[in-house]
Chains A and B, each alone.
Chain A
Amino acid sequence: DAGITQSPRYKITETGRQVTLMCHQTWSHSYMFWYRQDLGHGLRLIYYSAAADITDKGEVPDGYVVSRSKTENFPLTLESATRSQTSVYFCASTETGQGEAFFGQGTRLTVV
């Protein structure tokens, strides 16, 4: 199916564990983004990528790692999860960076 999909939809992990959130898009959009959504903060940009093998930090990158070896995939890794990383994570993609962004359904991550 065409679109942008995130997995898993829900994840509970323990403090200190490594966890990877997956994002896959079928449009071959150049730009992909990871946001976290927290009450009172709206959406904050974690990392973004303008093309395969090109990534850059957003507003809140600490504690996260990304890679983009293929245009369609943009995984987000929490190297050592902390409770402050409990959040809802959204992946998005756009063709040009200026146009409409398409969002996945989100991953609700709880760190205990």
Chain B
Amino acid sequence: GNSVTQMEGPVTLSEEAFLTINCTYTATGYPSLFWYVQYPGEGLQLLLKATKADDKGSNKGFEATYRKETTSFHLEKGSVQVSDSAVYFCALSGETGGGNKLTFGTGTQLKVEL
């Protein structure tokens, strides 16, 4: 079945540092890929998405490129801020024989310090 593997956290960075959170996936067919963000005490909200190979999703300075050859969708940001502290989830959506549904990674907690 479908699965998502993302790097374990927590990740602690200084403000303005470069961020990479790795995400790889296993899926049949051509899934859509997503990054969701969860701020403390809140539900998840979509950060960015890509629906086909070589697509780049971007939002709020974050970027991720859908790499089919390496089955990856790594999240990057050039300069993080304290306000980026949150838990980040990689996810895919694809047909699994029982209908389309989202499969999530375990989440990576990011803490940005001054």
- Closest chain-B Cβ to A97's Cβ sits at a distance in Å of 3
CB-defined contacts of B45 to chain A, threshold 8 Å? 103
Q: Are B101 and A105 in contact (CB under 8 A)?
A: no
Chain B binding surface, main DSSP class: strand
- Closest chain-B Cβ to A48's Cβ sits at a distance in Å of 5
Chain B, residue nearest A106 (CB): B43
Known: A90-B44, A101-B46, A103-B44. A42 touches B101 (CB 8 A): no
Q: Are B99 and A43 in contact (CB under 8 A)?
A: no
B111 part of interface (Cβ distance < 8 Å)? no
Number of interface residues of B (CB under 8 A): 23
Q: Are B89 and A31 in contact (CB under 8 A)?
A: no
Q: Are B101 and A45 in contact (CB under 8 A)?
A: yes
Chain A, residue nearest B44 (CB): A103
B31-70 vs A, CB cutoff 8 Å, 1 = contact: the mask equals: 0101010000011111001010000000000000000000
Number of interface residues of A (CB under 8 A): 26
Work out how many contacts link A and B, with CB atoms closer than 8 A: 60
Known: A31-B100, A48-B99, A97-B100. A41 touches B44 (CB 8 A): no
Chain A, residue nearest B106 (CB): A42
Chain B, residue nearest A100 (CB): B46
Which has the most chain B C-beta neighbours within 10 Å: A33, A98, A106?
A98
Which residues in chain A, 22-64, are within 8 Å of chain B measured between CB atoms?
A: 31, 33, 35, 40-45, 48, 50, 56, 58
Enumerate chain B interface residues (CB-CB to A < 8 A): 32, 34, 36, 42-46, 49, 51, 89, 93-94, 98-107
Q: Which 10 A-B pairs have the closest CB atoms?
A: A97-B100, A103-B43, A42-B106, A43-B104, A103-B44, A100-B46, A42-B107, A105-B43, A50-B99, A42-B104
Q: What 9 additional pairs, Cβ within 8 angstroms, besides A33-B102, A43-B89? A: A31-B101, A35-B104, A40-B106, A41-B106, A90-B44, A97-B101, A99-B32, A100-B49, A101-B34
